[in-house]
Amino acid sequence: MAILRLGGQRLLLGVLRIASPRVLSSPFTMPPKRKQEKAEETPAKESKKVKTDEFSSDAKTSDGKKWNLKIVSWNVDGLRAWIKKDGMSIFEKEEPDVVCLQETKCSDDKLPEEIKNMKGYKSYFMSAKKDGYSGVALISKKEPLLVTYGLDDETHDDEGRCITAEYEDFYLVTAYVPNAGRKLVTLDKRMDWDPKFRKYLKELDAKKPVIMCGDLNVAHKEIDLAKPKGNKKNAGFTPEERAGFTDLLAEGFVDSFRHLYPDKTAQYTFWTYMANCRAKNVGWRLDYFVLSERLVPNLCDNLIRSSLYGSDHCPITLLVHL
């Protein structure tokens, strides 16, 4: 492969193409479905059984077209720990076209071989300069036309927060948005990120529709966390962070989950490890698929996979017809 630097941005070009057993109408090639007969388990310490048939779906667009593209997003809270907790079983359970990971916390030289060289997938990583911090990954069946890293902003790019993959008909962006921190010590960093990221997405959207996913570190509305009244001055639910997300939606983007399920309660993607919060479902919806408005007719479903363990977040799955 070759890496080209343009305006401070790293471009990855010339990746070998993957041979495909058959071609579907989807923008991605999907292998034949495996038989779904046996239940699979998360690690023993998680003590939770998950059946593979829980991941099948007949979701369709509003005009009756069945999904043909599946994207999974998951904040793994440490890639190597996630692998040890059987996180990679998501590939067998979901059979996704693309998996986007956030908070990988792993430098390039420490990436496990099983995730770097997955059969049938191409893997792209952006790590932070600081080892064990932040980081994102994008793992795709189909080779993107182009993969770019970061926002062309040195401060944020040094923290490994964003990968963009360009496909024929859309851009896919995965992001790990800065956390405002305990006592809001990094709220200024977050407030610097939001307008820059919004501008970046708007520039992409002017060329092709955008699918953006990741841990956005904000619960947008009171319905999006279990205890809104006690968290209005805490990271993830401050007026500033919530307004930043509102501003993004106002620029022609849609929170796909709330578009489909505007009034659905107790739907969370993150639970602190403290106080047995996951078992009690005292959580936050911090993980999103945000779409360009013109992709709404292509939307089939947005699923929160709360039955899957391996992190303090659970994965979310987008189904679209393209």
pLDDT over 70 at 50, yes or no? no
**Contact (Cβ atoms closer than 8 angstroms) between residue 189 and residue 178:** yes
Q: Write the DSSP string, 77-117.
A: SSHHHHHHTTGGGHHHHH--SEEEEE-----GGG--HHHHT
User: Burial code of 51-65, b = ≥16 C-beta within 10 A, e = fewer?
Assistant: ebeebeeebebeeee
Catalytic residue among 149, 167, 176, 268: 176
- Rounded to whole angstroms, the Cα distance separating 123 from 78 reads 17
Q: How are beta strands 171-176 and 210-215 bridged, if at all?
A: parallel
- Choose among 27, 33, 37: nearest CA to 58: 33
**Contact (Cβ atoms closer than 8 angstroms) between residue 119 and residue 31:** no
Q: Which pLDDT score is estimated for 54?
A: 81
Catalytic residue among 205, 215, 255, 312: 215
- Rounded to whole angstroms, the Cα distance separating 285 from 269 reads 5
Q: What percent of the chain has pLDDT over 90?
A: 83
pLDDT digits (tens, 9 = 90+) for 90-141: 999 999 999 999 999 999 999 999 999 999 999 999 999 999 999 999 999 9
- Rounded to whole angstroms, the Cα distance separating 277 from 228 reads 15
Catalytic residue check, 215: yes
Sheet holding 2-6, edge to edge: 2-6, 9-13, 146-149, 162-166, 171-176, 210-215, 287-292, 253-255
pLDDT digits (tens, 9 = 90+) for 128-162: 999 999 999 999 999 999 999 999 999 999 999 99
Six-digit token pair at 6? 């343009």
Q: Rg (Cα) of the chain, in Å, rounded?
A: 19
Six-digit token pair at 60? 């369709």
Q: Write the DSSP string, 135-160.
A: -EEEEESSPPSEEEES-S-HHHHTT-
